[in-house]
Amino acid sequence: MKIICIGRNYIEHAHELNNPVPSQPVFFMKPETALIRGRLPFFYPDFSRDVHYEVELVLKINKLGKHIQEKFAHTYYEHIGIGIDFTARDVQTICKQKGLPWEIAKAFDGSAPVSTFIHKEEFKDLYDINFALSKNDTVVQKGNSGMMIFNFEKIISYVSQFVTLKIGDLIFTGTPAGVGPVVSGDTLKATLEDQIMIHLPVK
Ligand code: ZN
């Protein structure tokens, strides 16, 4: 399986990193080895001094597809979860300055904790899903699927023009404003509506 991540999908977050608001989705990928599932901690990597959390809604692909039309895109996922796109911001900044790819800042081991998944029928409105991240019990990020620049259907359709989607692939759909650093000893909690989905100590 593969993990596809959408960048700059919330206007306020694009602004906070001084990025332009895109006219098409921006995406990048993480390998399967980036996943953290269950109750395992996040181990702070030794190549960075500025690892940031980015909380994101995550779609789980349930059907093989390429060149998916937007009007059919909703049939390609059934479950929604929440994940954290850990980013070595210092490393990413150097990559950007040099015009290099960001992989080492985004794709490292443990950079993608993911919750269990909830069937989409359990949400009242897929365009009004609330989610949040707290660090040491202080809320640091709050998002809502209705604030996304590119909605789930647009993302699935766009990505599948370039990359075939397979059963079990995950799509991180972008982070709202409020990204920031973690340090060893922090605890992150991600909530979907009012349910705690991720409880992650940073070691
Ligand atoms: Zn992200």
Q: What distance in angstroms lies between residue 53's CA and the mean position of ligand 1's atoms? A: 8
pLDDT in tens, 1-36: 999 999 989 988 878 888 888 889 999 999 999 999
Mean of the per-residue pLDDT values of the chain:
96
Residue range(s) defining the domain that contains residue 178:
3-201
CA-to-CA distance for 41 and 110, rounded, in angstroms? 9
* Half-sphere exposure of residue 163: CA atoms within 13 angstroms, side-chain side: 19
167 dihedral zone (left: phi>0; alpha: psi -120 to 50; beta):
beta
Beta strands in 22-165 (DSSP E): 26-30, 35-36, 51-53, 55-61, 77-84, 87-88, 112-113, 118-119, 130-135, 138-144
- Residue 45, pLDDT score: 97
Give the model's confidence band at 193: pLDDT under 50 very low, under 70 low, under 90 confident, else very high: very high
CA dihedral 120, 121, 124, 126 (to 10 degrees): 30
**Ligand 1: centre distance to CA 66 (Å):** 23
- Confidence band for 74, pLDDT divided at 50, 70 and 90: very high
Query: If you measure from the C-alpha of residue 85 to the centroid of ligand 1, how many angstroms do you get, rounded to a whole number?
Result: 5
Q: Which two tokens stand for residue 100?
A: 């290099």
Q: Is the confidence at residue 43, as pLDDT, over 90?
A: yes
pLDDT at res. 14? 77
pTM of the model: 0.96
pLDDT at 15: 85
The pLDDT, as a whole number, for residue 36 is 94
**Residue 81 maps to which CATH number?**
3.90.850.10
Q: 64: which 2 tokens?
A: 């093989």
Question: Measured in angstroms, how far is the CA atom of residue 88 from the centroid of ligand 1?
Answer: 11
Q: Report the separation in Å between the CA atom of 33 and the middle of ligand 1, taken as the mean of its atom positions.
A: 17
104-143 per-position pLDDT tens digit: 999 999 999 999 999 999 999 999 999 999 999 999 999 9
Q: Are 179 and 195 in contact, with CB atoms under 8 Å apart? A: no
φ, ψ of residue 128 to 5 degrees: the values are -145, 55
Q: What's the number of domains the chain is made of?
A: 1
71 alpha carbon to ligand 1 midpoint, in Å? Answer: 25
pLDDT at 20: 83
* Cα dihedral 4, 120, 52, 46 sign: negative
**Cα four-point dihedral sign 30, 108, 86, 167:** positive
pLDDT band at 81 (very low <50, low <70, confident <90, very high): very high
